[in-house]
Amino acid sequence: MLAPPGPSAAAAPANPAGAVVQSPGGQSQGAATINTPPAAVGDTLRLRFAEAAWIEVLDGRGEVLSTGFKPASSQQEITGQPPFSLVVGNARNVTVEYKGKTIDLESHTSKGVARLTVK
């Protein structure tokens, strides 16, 4: 029995994801050279879910950092550029911490959904 032929060289991408290409000047190019600055220590939200909940978290640039249902008895750390925009469903069963302090969701909650900005 013959094995199916592998992909031809023509079908292979010129620079597959993650490949590093050496330029004539000796500098690397490619996905491996993208510099992403690490987030500052105080830029992490910690969420704990006593019951199942739904969240959406955007950073200060409007980038979605996390969205969707989170199971009961779980937790999540989200790091990004503040200010953070949060929507939290089933908010009374979610605890949010930022810079070592617990954020009051109750004062931002209507019909079980909290909407707030954390700076």
Going by C-alpha positions, the residue among 100, 84, 90 that lies closest to residue 69 is: 90
pLDDT at 21: 47
Segment 77-92 mean pLDDT: 97
Tell me whether residue 70 is in a domain.
yes
Residue 14 falls within a domain, yes or no? no
Looking at the domain assignment, is residue 50 inside a domain?
A: yes
Residue 39 lies in a domain: no
**Neighbouring-strand partners of residue 44:** 79
Compute how many other C-beta atoms are within 10 angstroms of the C-beta atom of residue 73: 10
76 neighbors 66 (Cβ within 8 angstroms): yes
Is residue 66 included in any domain, yes or no? yes
Burial of 76 (0-12, 13-18, 19+ CB in 10 A): middle
Question: How far, CA to CA in Å, does 62 sit from each of 15, 44, 86, 115?
Answer: 30, 16, 11, 15
Prediction pTM value: 0.65
The boundaries of the domain holding residue 110 are 44-118
Mean pLDDT, rounded, of the chain: 80
pLDDT over 70, % of the chain: 65
62 inside domain = yes
Domain contains 93: yes
Is pLDDT larger for residue 9 or for residue 73? 73
The reply to whether 91 falls in a domain is: yes
Average pLDDT over residues 16-34: 49
Q: What total number of domains does the chain contain?
A: 1
